[in-house]
Structure 1
Amino acid sequence: MSAEKDPKEALLEAALAHVPFDGWNEVTFRAAVEESHVEPALARALCPRGALDLAIAFHKRGDAVMVQRLNDADLNEMRFRDKIAAAVRFRLEAVDDKELVRRGTTLFSLPQHAADGAKAIWDTADLIWRTLGDTSDDFNWYTKRMTLSGVYGSTVLYWLGDDSPDHARTWEFLDRRIENVMQFEKVKAQVRQNPLFKPFLAGPNWALGKVKPPSATSRTDMPGHYAGDRQE
């Protein structure tokens, strides 16, 4: 391994050739260590959970490609829903081999790794919103990411089984999912604006308004904070 190459990147590159055949597992990890010439002790220090950590690194690599494409694209004339659709499409197009994602889906479907898979999807949704300029600072921060995580996750599963030219059916499926979300948001807005419901929603809205997104200065092991929390 050259001194200039990041050892974790070298491990990931070596692993990718084995994943379609062996999956994200210990067999792949050991092969990656041998072929990348990364010292075994260093490899285990960088990836204490072996191939699982490489699978997460692979997912983050795709996220980085998506963000770069979003930053380079001219989205000014797009409707916001179309910007979201473009972001999801960019994320899927960042993958050269579906089998790498299919094997990852199998890995993250295991009970012991489900939390890592959910976090990876959540992080992708968060990156999309932040890159597109989301400034929400209340409970909407969570609902936006929760909704987009659902759209992204379902679209990935559809895409894995799509053999249509240029994945045309996947993009149609994505548009339908986003349309469902837009309809739901429209109903929510109508309920909030209805004077008959305002007395019943005043309490919940006040409480939800106190829920804030994660802060750069807050604990890193907690998902967010409550505005009424005591500040040290």
Structure 2
Amino acid sequence: TAVSSSRFSTTTEPQTFPNRPLNPADSSTSSSSTSFQTSSAAGDIPHQERKNPRAEYQGEQARLRLGWSEEAMIAGAKEVGISPSIVGSFPRKEAALVEFFMDDCLQRLIDRIDSGEELQDLIPSQCIYKLVRFRLEMQAPYISKWPQALSIQAHPLNVSTSFKQRAMLVDEIWHAAGDEASDLDWYVKRTVLGGIYSTTEIYMLTDSSPEFRDTWLFLDNRLKDAFDLKKTIQEATYLAEAVGAGMGSSLQGFVG
């Protein structure tokens, strides 16, 4: 699945964790299991929607067991009433499933950014923290199977698309944070953020703290380190320029 643009057309509404994001096991945004009942006095009370948490949980766990696999795609096709043979039209199968999920998550992040909510009056580091956390929270329901997704992305045949998707992700986040750099600093910022995102993603895989509390602390510390380093580099650059200018003036006065 080639990625040609950082803007996608989708009907998926932006969601906030822990609302259920796209299910990796069925490649479709199927609705949750619901049931309807009427009161004994027919016509007096309209139909009421009633969710069955236990049934939803069991169904979710059954799908998660399939992971990012061809079997998951077949199960998803059956669930929405499509012939399982349609899976044959996706030659890259598991990779296509993971890439679809990545694209959908990026679109949801873009929708969140475009809504203009929650990001106003935030300094760049706060904005980046909020968006990286929001993006990683989309993977939280599937964390037990995410190592499989990472393995698929790292396959030599898939790594190019995976790199493009992650590059687009960090670019969108920096853009939302107000970055307008166009020189070498543009590449440095995105490389640093890409590294922070990836290390936080890996840390999240082994985090057993409630609601991934330790992961978000890890992310916050990494971002603080990165912005402190940037400040240190800038100060060193200004000092070098000042020293250079001073030495130039002194030398000019000496020879003059």
Question: What SS does structure 2 have at the residue aligned with 1:177?
Answer: helix
CA distance in 2, matches of 1:44, 1:122: 29
CA distance in 2, matches of 1:10, 1:168: 26
Instruction: Name the structure 2 match of 1:80.
Output: 124
Instruction: Name the structure 2 match of 1:56.
Output: 99
Instruction: Name the structure 2 match of 1:120.
Output: 165
Compared CA separation, residues 31 and 169, structure 1 to 2 (3 A): same
- The question of whether the paired residues in 2 share the 8 Å contact of 1:55 and 1:104 is answered with yes
Two-structure CA RMSD over aligned residues (Å)? 3.3
- The question of whether the paired residues in 1 share the 8 Å contact of 2:25 and 2:72 is answered with no
> Which amino acid letter does the alignment assign opposite residue 122 of structure 2?
M
Instruction: Name the structure 1 match of 2:253.
Output: none
When structure 1 is superposed on structure 2, of 27-36 and 141-150 the one drifting more is: 27-36
> Which amino acid letter does the alignment assign opposite residue 89 of structure 1?
R
CA distance in 2, matches of 1:195, 1:21: 59
- The question of whether the paired residues in 1 share the 8 Å contact of 2:128 and 2:173 is answered with yes
- Partner of residue 195 from structure 1, selected from 226, 237, 241: 241
- The question of whether the paired residues in 2 share the 8 Å contact of 1:69 and 1:90 is answered with no
- Residue 42 of structure 1 and its aligned partner are, at CA, apart by 6.1
Normalised by the length of structure 2, the TM-score is 0.62
CA distance in 1, matches of 2:186, 2:85: 40
- The question of whether the paired residues in 2 share the 8 Å contact of 1:192 and 1:198 is answered with no
Compared CA separation, residues 129 and 90, structure 1 to 2 (3 A): same
Q: C-alpha offsets along residues 55-103 of structure 1, whole Å, 9 cap, x if unaligned?
A: 1110121222223333342323322111110011111222333234333
Map 1:141-160 → 2, pairs under 5 A: 141-160=186-205
Normalised by the length of structure 1, the TM-score is 0.68
Question: What SS does structure 2 have at the residue aligned with 1:97?
Answer: helix
- Residue 35 of structure 1 and its aligned partner are, at CA, apart by 4.3
CA distance in 1, matches of 2:205, 2:25: 27
Map 1:1-232 → 2, pairs under 5 A: 12-13=27-28, 20-38=64-82, 44-45=88-89, 47-70=90-113, 71-95=115-139, 96-193=141-238, 194-195=240-241
CA distance in 2, matches of 1:116, 1:33: 24
- Residue 151 of structure 1 and its aligned partner are, at CA, apart by 0.7
- The question of whether the paired residues in 2 share the 8 Å contact of 1:24 and 1:55 is answered with yes
Higher RCO, Cα 8 Å, sep 6+:
2
- Residue 157 of structure 1 and its aligned partner are, at CA, apart by 1.0
- The question of whether the paired residues in 2 share the 8 Å contact of 1:14 and 1:35 is answered with no
- Residue 178 of structure 1 and its aligned partner are, at CA, apart by 0.7
The answer for unaligned runs of 5 or more in structure 1 is 200-232
Compared CA separation, residues 104 and 186, structure 1 to 2 (3 A): same
> Which amino acid letter does the alignment assign opposite residue 55 of structure 1?
V
- The question of whether the paired residues in 1 share the 8 Å contact of 2:153 and 2:159 is answered with yes
Q: Percent identity, aligned pairs only?
A: 25
Higher helix share: 1
- Residue 18 of structure 1 and its aligned partner are, at CA, apart by 7.1
Compared CA separation, residues 198 and 155, structure 1 to 2 (3 A): farther
CA distance in 2, matches of 1:17, 1:51: 19
- The question of whether the paired residues in 2 share the 8 Å contact of 1:12 and 1:54 is answered with yes
CA distance in 2, matches of 1:30, 1:198: 66
CA distance in 2, matches of 1:120, 1:126: 10
Compare CA radii of gyration and give the structure with the larger one: 2
Question: What SS does structure 2 have at the residue aligned with 1:89?
Answer: helix
- Residue 175 of structure 1 and its aligned partner are, at CA, apart by 1.1
Compared CA separation, residues 182 and 14, structure 1 to 2 (3 A): closer
CA distance in 1, matches of 2:145, 2:103: 13
Q: C-alpha offsets along residues 170-224 of structure 1, whole Å, 9 cap, x if unaligned?
A: 111001111221122123212322137869xxxxxxxxxxxxxxxxxxxxxxxxx
